[in-house]
């Protein structure tokens, strides 16, 4: 009996769920899961997760005291909510969960390090070991430097919002555990910039991830590549063999419903045989390559602003919910 595409993909690649929805994870049973403020915001508004949200907010209020502003409680509440969802996710997935550092800290190395340590401390308090958590940090030069320090401390990092080879090389040389190149967002930029559509191996996002994967395998970097942000299953099938792919429930459903042959497209052996020039990476080279790459410049800025806006939205929702709970408790 022919296998569906999802079953075949799992034989080449670790499948990660790109969702904060616990029910979707229970259905697809991915190896790992990743979240961000947008996903947590969506999940936090579902009625079945309201008890988690309420519990986190009341605990944050208790910790900060009655004099703390609703905004301060909401900020701590977001951090605690990310851990609460992470804990629930880790009860389902056998592998790791990625928990994101506040995107508003993306250009602040010291603040990123401090919040990453806080995230790990909170997981430690819940009895969850470091091997099961990836701290998600934006792939700015400052974020990569923070990740370098954290990795030396045994805190594993997932470098997100990665669009250019310069970001990937800097991250690998910093010894990070994982990078997440954003396939669909790269495609979006090129479609908008050129007015053309792209398919299959010609998809610029697919090309970008393929380049990063081959570079890492050619030069023996231990950093793993996790393709992210997919627009269609064609992008996913073109990256079969990538170390990991993080996929939305909608596209997981589509892969599961599709029967056909899925050949492996990426492999370390093929990459090793390629002729690839090694690039020495320092801040000057990073800045020059970033400035020369309009797509990476635009999408990194847009991504940080988007995640920051999602966080503001989540904190606003949490502050509103806190006010409702406090009124209810007074009555």
Please identify every residue annotated as catalytic.
Answer: 136
Torsion of CA 99, 111, 163, 37, to 10 degrees: 40
**How far is it, in rounded angstroms, from Cα 82 to Cα 84?**
6
Query: Which residue reads 């009341």 in tokens?
Result: 58
Taking CB atoms within 8 Å and a gap of at least 24, the contacts of 246-253 are 246/16, 246/17, 246/18, 246/32, 246/34, 246/180, 247/15, 247/16, 247/17, 247/18, 248/18, 248/19, 249/17, 249/19, 249/21, 249/24, 249/27, 249/28, 252/6, 252/15, 252/17, 252/24, 252/28, 252/30
For 8, the token pair is 């075949």
Tokens of 93: 């997935």
3-state secondary structure of 250: helix
Token duo for residue 136: 């998600």
Q: Which H or E element spans position 14?
A: strand 14-18
């Amino acid at each position: 009996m022919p296998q569906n595409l999802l079953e075949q993909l799992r034989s080449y690649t670790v499948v990660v769920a790109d969702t904060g929805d616990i029910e979707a994870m229970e259905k697809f049973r991915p190896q790992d899961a990743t979240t961000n403020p947008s996903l947590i915001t969506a999940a936090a508004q579902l009625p079945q997760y309201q008890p988690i949200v309420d519990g986190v907010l009341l605990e944050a209020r208790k910790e900060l005291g009655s004099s703390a502003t609703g905004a301060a409680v909401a900020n701590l509440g977001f951090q605690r909510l990310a851990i609460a969802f992470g804990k629930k996710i880790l009860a389902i997935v056998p592998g790791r969960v990625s928990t994101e550092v506040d995107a508003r800290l993306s250009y602040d190395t010291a603040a990123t390090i401090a919040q990453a340590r806080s995230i790990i401390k909170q997981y430690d308090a819940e009895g969850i070991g470091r091997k099961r958590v990836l701290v998600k940090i934006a792939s700015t030069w400052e974020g990569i430097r923070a990740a370098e320090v954290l990795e030396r401390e045994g805190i594993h990092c997932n470098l997100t919002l990665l669009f250019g080879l310069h970001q990937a090389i800097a991250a690998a040389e910093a010894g990070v555990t994982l990078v997440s190149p954003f396939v669909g967002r790269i495609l979006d930029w090129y479609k908008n910039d050129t007015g053309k559509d792209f398919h299959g191996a010609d998809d610029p996002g697919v090309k970008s991830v393929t380049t990063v994967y081959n570079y890492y395998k050619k030069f023996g970097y231990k950093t793993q590549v996790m393709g992210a942000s997919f627009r269609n299953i064609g992008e996913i099938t073109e990256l079969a063999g990538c170390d990991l792919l993080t996929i939305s429930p909608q596209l997981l459903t589509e892969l599961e419903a599709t029967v056909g042959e899925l050949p492996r497209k990426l492999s370390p052996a093929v990459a090793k045989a390629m002729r690839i020039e090694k690039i020495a990476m320092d801040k000057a080279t990073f800045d020059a390559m970033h400035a020369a790459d309009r797509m990476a410049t635009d999408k990194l800025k847009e991504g940080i602003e988007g995640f920051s806006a999602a966080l503001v939205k989540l904190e606003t929702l949490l502050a509103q919910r806190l006010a409702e709970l406090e009124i209810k408790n007074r009555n």
